[in-house]
């Protein structure tokens, strides 16, 4: 465990259940752009779970429209390569020929495991997808709290860093 791991764990434990309140306050007092950048940095952080894992956790907690929105972000960023990959092949089978977006109903047919694989493939195809997903979740910031205290602590630290730059 490195020094940053230790500091973040200490910060998360000191904030305890209050970290969610601090996050809510920060969300209310910052721009969507700053929050999106901070969330993208949180997704990339070595102090949090891998991007694909975090995305699958968020997918599990999302409503049908949010699930479709997330998957459409992944599709838009990774493009046709995602539809033809082994992970994304399931997307191609759900979509009508010529369609470029999933509906909320179609998104409901995917498991959390499939979404984790799709997110991983999308990130490999286009690392910029992390930024797109960060900005998507800036619009649905309450879901970020489902990732837990350590992720929130990293998000808050990234937001502070972004605002001081």
Separation CA 120–CA 145 (nearest Å): 22
**What is the per-residue pLDDT across 119-165, written as a single tens digit (0 to 9) for each?**
999 999 899 999 999 999 999 999 998 998 888 888 888 888 877 77
pLDDT band at 19 (very low <50, low <70, confident <90, very high): confident
Domain spans of the chain, in order of start: 32-164
Which of 17 and 52 is assigned the larger pLDDT?
Answer: 52
pLDDT at 159: 84
Determine contact, residues 152/19, Cβ cutoff 8 Å.
Answer: yes
The pLDDT tens digits for 78-95 are 877 676 655 556 777 777
State mean pLDDT over 51-78.
95
């Amino acid at each position: 465990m490195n020094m940053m791991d230790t500091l973040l764990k200490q910060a998360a434990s000191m904030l305890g259940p209050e970290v969610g309140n601090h996050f809510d306050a920060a969300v209310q007092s910052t721009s969507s752009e700053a929050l999106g950048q901070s969330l993208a940095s949180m997704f990339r952080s070595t102090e949090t779970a891998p991007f694909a894992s975090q995305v699958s956790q968020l997918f599990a907690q999302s409503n049908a429209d949010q699930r479709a929105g997330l998957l459409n972000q992944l599709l838009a960023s990774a493009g046709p390569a995602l539809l033809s990959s082994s992970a994304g092949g399931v997307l191609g089978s759900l979509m009508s020929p010529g369609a470029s977006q999933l509906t909320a109903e179609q998104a409901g047919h995917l498991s959390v495991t499939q979404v984790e694989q799709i997110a991983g493939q999308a990130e490999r195809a286009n690392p910029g997808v992390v930024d797109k997903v960060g900005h998507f979740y800036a619009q649905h910031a309450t879901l970020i709290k489902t990732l837990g205290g350590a992720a929130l602590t990293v998000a808050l630290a990234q937001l502070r860093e972004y605002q001081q730059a």
